């Protein structure tokens, strides 16, 4: 029968119950596994380390588990860990070759670039398909220095998950995204609200329309029914 665990036993908590020589084995295991993993990653190449694509992200996760367990679990043989590391890296290398040679494989593994904004109007279908919320996109636009959608000529969601944003030469009126709506919500109008001589932007997609009487029942682009005054970025912001 095993001895009962003594709570808050500092010796057990910090040093464990293994013999002292095992700590030297941990150092040896760490050096072997680290050196071997480093050699294989160098073989994979620097492209993956810089870009961290889907394949490389999975590589990091798989290697982390295989490398970590071997370093301090005495029941895990070094050969098994090195075999796992080798298999993971070889699979990664094969996927890299397939991605390089075949466009279909590249799209399947890394995904594809999609358009999220065109001429100041959101592509709602793309956002929904990629599970991207407007607040996430607006955050990316604000970080790039945009204050409304009227400044955006084109924006893409890259396969890496980042946004690529291109500015219009001459900003137009558009849906305001700064200040952030969570901090200062803009004035909003429902369908059929009496307004006169004002440009309104659809709160769903950013479509701008000139209102001479009542607000539209639905946006012609996305069928949204909430509107807010469109704004024009100053030259200092553009």
Q: Which residue in this structure is represented by tokens 């604000």? A: 142
Residues 6+ away with beta carbon under 8 Å from 217: 191, 192, 225
Q: For residues 27 and 142, give the distance between their C-alpha atoms in angstroms, rounded to a whole number.
A: 47
**What is the per-residue pLDDT across 93-131, written as a single tens digit (0 to 9) for each?**
888 788 788 888 777 777 788 999 999 999 999 998 888
Answer whether 138's CB lies under 8 Å from 144's CB.
no
Domain boundary assignment for the chain: 10-107, 114-229
First to last CA, the chain: 75
- At residue 152, the pLDDT reads 94
- At residue 202, the pLDDT reads 93
pTM of the full structure: 0.64
Which of 224, 133, 138 has its CA nearest to residue 181? 138
- At residue 155, the pLDDT reads 95
Under-70 pLDDT residues of the chain:
1-3, 44-59, 62, 65-66, 69, 72, 234-238
Cα angle 45, 51, 54; round to 5: 95
Answer whether 67's CB lies under 8 Å from 33's CB.
yes
Answer whether 40's CB lies under 8 Å from 89's CB.
yes
Q: Which token pair is 69?
A: 């367990």
- At residue 149, the pLDDT reads 94
CATH architecture group of domain 114-229: 2-Layer Sandwich (3.30)
Q: Which long-range contacts link 96-99 to residues 24+ away (Cβ below 8 Å)? A: 96/44, 96/45, 96/47, 96/48, 96/55, 99/55
Residue 128 belongs to what H/E stretch?
helix 124-129
């Amino acid at each position: 029968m095993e001895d009962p665990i003594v709570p808050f036993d500092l010796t057990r908590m910090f040093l464990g119950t293994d013999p002292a020589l095992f700590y030297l084995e941990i150092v040896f295991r760490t050096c072997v596994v680290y050196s071997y993993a480093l050699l294989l990653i160098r073989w994979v190449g620097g492209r993956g380390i810089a870009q961290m694509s889907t394949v490389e992200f999975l590589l990091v996760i798989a290697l982390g588990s295989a490398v970590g367990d071997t370093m301090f679990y005495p029941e895990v043989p070094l050969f098994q860990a090195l075999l796992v590391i080798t298999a993971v890296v070889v699979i990664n290398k094969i996927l890299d070759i397939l991605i390089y040679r075949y466009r279909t494989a590249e799209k399947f593994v890394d995904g594809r670039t999609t358009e999220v904004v065109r001429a100041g109007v959101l592509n709602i279908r793309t956002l929904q398909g990629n599970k991207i919320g407007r607040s996430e996109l607006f955050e990316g636009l604000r970080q790039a220095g945009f204050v409304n959608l009227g400044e955006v000529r084109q924006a893409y969601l890259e396969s890496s998950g980042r946004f690529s944003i291109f500015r219009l030469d001459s900003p137009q009126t558009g849906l305001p995204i700064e200040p952030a709506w969570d901090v200062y919500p803009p004035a909003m109008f429902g369908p059929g609200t009496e307004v006169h001589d004002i440009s309104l932007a659809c709160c769903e997609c950013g479509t701008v329309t000139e209102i001479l009487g009542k607000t539209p029942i639905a946006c012609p682009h996305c069928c949204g029914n909430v509107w807010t005054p469109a704004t024009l970025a100053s030259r200092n912001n553009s």
